[in-house]
Homo-oligomer: A and B are copies of this chain.
Amino acid sequence: MTLKTPLDMIRWNADGLVPVIAQDHADGCVLMVAWMNREALARTLEIGEAVYWSRSRARLWHKGESSGHVQVVHDLRLDCDRDVILLKVEQKGGIACHTGRRHCFYHQYRDGEWVEVDPVLKDPAAIYGEEAPSHGR
């Protein structure tokens, strides 16, 4: 008999991943969505900062490893279907998005089109140097 671990409770998808929502613990702003595999979640629990699985780079991604914009985990939640994780975090530097914005959801639907409504707080080139990512995950 094998005892189930908390990680076994999660319904990982066919690729062994679950989507993860990062939300500001203080004001509830939804910052971003990324993915975790078992190893990423185990590492997140170990260090208390968000570690995702980068699908594009196919490796663990300690959020903030390049930018310094780490996410300190205050609360970790799992939904009723056990296939989505919600992290309530303190976003260091106040910038979660690779575009230099506070959060990733800056396209707003208005009158039939997507409009960029949230400001860039810092030039990505200044955040990442020459290694500015073309996308976040």
Contact = CB atoms under 8 A, between A and B. Distances in A.
Interface of A: 6, 9, 19, 21, 23, 27-30, 32-33, 45, 75-82, 84, 86, 97-99, 101, 104-109, 112-114, 135-137
> So how many copies of this chain end up in the complex?
2
Contacts of A104: 79-81, 84
A29 B25 CA distance: 10
Given A6-B113, A27-B28, A113-B6, A33 B108 contact: no
30 contacts: A6-B109, A19-B84, A21-B33, A23-B30, A27-B28, A28-B28, A28-B29, A28-B30, A30-B86, A33-B84, A45-B109, A76-B108, A77-B106, A78-B105, A78-B107, A78-B109, A79-B104, A79-B105, A79-B106, A79-B107, A80-B97, A80-B98, A80-B107, A80-B135, A80-B136, A81-B135, A81-B136, A82-B107, A84-B105, A86-B105
